[in-house]
Amino acid sequence: MRVLQAFRYAIDPTPAQERACRSHLGARRFAFNWGLALVKARLDAKARGEDVRVPYTLPALRREWNRAKDNAAPWWPENSKEAYSAGLDGLARALKNCFESRAGKRAGQRVGFPQFRKKVRRQSVRFTTGAIRISDRTHLVLPRLGRMRTHEPTTVLAECIQAGTARILSATLSIDCARWYLSFTCEVERGERQPTRPTSVVGVDAGVRYLAVLSTGETVDNPRPLPKAHRQIARLNRALARRQRGSGRWKDAARRLGRAYARVAHIRADAMHKLTTRLARTHGTIVVELLNVSGMLRNRRLARALADASLGELRRQLGYKCFWYGSQLIEAPTFFPSSKTCSGCGAVKATLPPSAQVFRCDHCGAAMDRDLNAATNLAALAAVSVTGSGPEALTARGRDVRLAEHGEQSQMNREAGSADAQKTGAAVLQGAAA
C-alpha cells in the first residue's frame, strides 16, 4: 500500500546558506502580503462598482504576480520561484478556508479573513520542483540553497529511494527556535503488516496523572516536561524582560527561552511517539475516547496540565499508525461516560469529581482505580462494534473508525452527567458483557 509519510531532519546550514534560507522565508512572506494587499484592493474596487476580477485561486494569483513582480520586487531573482509560489499558495488556501467556513462547508471553528504575515518564531517555505534530493548519508540538496549538512543520518530515506519504495513529492524548510529543519513529504510503499497480538483488544484512557492507562492494567508514566522545566523557563522569561526589546542581548535571551520550550515539546513528542508505536505494533484492536480537548482547556485551573499531557495527540498518532501496522482503531463518542460507569455491573454514577482517584460503585460495591475502570469500559466497546449488538463500526483492518451514532446511541453525545447518557452507557456495556 502507498501512503504519504514525512521524514524530518535537523539541518546545519553554513552562515551563507542561513542568510539564503532567511531570504527565502522573507520572500514567501512578501508574496503572501503582496497578494493579500492585491485581493483587498480588488475587493474595495468591486465594492465601489468597478468591473475588476479578484484573484482568489493560486493560478490567478500567479498570473498577477508574474505581471507585477519586476516592479513590485525587482530583487525576486535572488530567491527560488518556489518561495513566492509557496506564499501565494498559502494565501489561496487561506482564502478558500475563509469562504468555505462562511458558507458552512467547513467544519470546526469559524475561519476569519487572512491577515498580513509578520516575522514569527516559526516560519516555513515549501519546495515542490527543482533539485530536491538526498545527496549522501549526511547531506541533502534544495533549489538555490545547494547542498546542506544534516545533524542526523538520512540513511532510511535514502535506502527507500534507492530501492524504489519511496518518492519525494515536496520539501518544507522551516525554522523553530533558531533550529533549522527540513521535512520531506514522500509517497512510500509500505508492506502489509500485522500486529504481534492480532486478537488482543486494549482500551486506552489518556489522562494527566498518567500519560495513558491500559485496560491490561499497565500504566504509562507521564514525563511532565513542562512542570520540570518551569523554574528554568521562569528565569529565562525574567532575563528576557530585563533586556531592551530588539537588541542583541534580547535576541540571545529569546533564543535561549525558545530552546527551553523546544526541549519540553521534544520530550513530550518522544514519549507520545514511543507509546503510540508500541500500541499499534502490539494490539489488534485499540479503543480510545474522542475527547473534546478544546472544551477541556477552557478550565483555567487544569489547562496547563491538560496541554502538557497532549491528550489529542494520542488519537491523532494512532489514527495513521494503526493503518501502517495493520491494527484497528475504534473511537468512543466524546461524551461516553467511561469514568462514571462501573466496569463490573454497568451502573452509572450521577457525578464523579476529578479529585476522586478511586471509582466506587454504589450498586455492586466494586472499587478500582478510576483510570483503569475507564480503560476497561473502553475495551468493552470493541465487542459491541464487532458483534453488532450496539453501535455500528467498520471492522476493516487499518481503518480509522468511529462508533456510528444510530438510534439511541446519539443520546450519548449529550452531557455525560445526564440521565439519558448514563442509561445508554450502561446499556451498551451490559450488552457487550452479555
Active site residues: 205, 289, 371
Residue with cell 514511543: 274
User: What is the C-alpha separation between 428 and 176, in angstroms, rounded?
Assistant: 47
Q: Looking at this protein, which amino acid is placed at residue 287? A: V
Q: What are phi and psi of 388, to 5 degrees?
A: 80, 10
Residues shown for the chain: 434
Cα 135 to the chain's mean position, in Å? 30
Separation in Å, CA 207 to CA 293, 305, 309, 353, 391: 11, 9, 7, 14, 25
Q: 76 and 26 in contact (C-beta within 8 Å)?
A: no
424 CB burial (10 A radius; 0-12, 13-18, 19+): buried
User: What is the C-alpha separation between 53 and 56, in angstroms, rounded?
Assistant: 9
Residue 70: CA atoms inside 13 Å, Cβ hemisphere, count? 2
User: What is the C-alpha separation between 38 and 72, in angstroms, rounded?
Assistant: 11
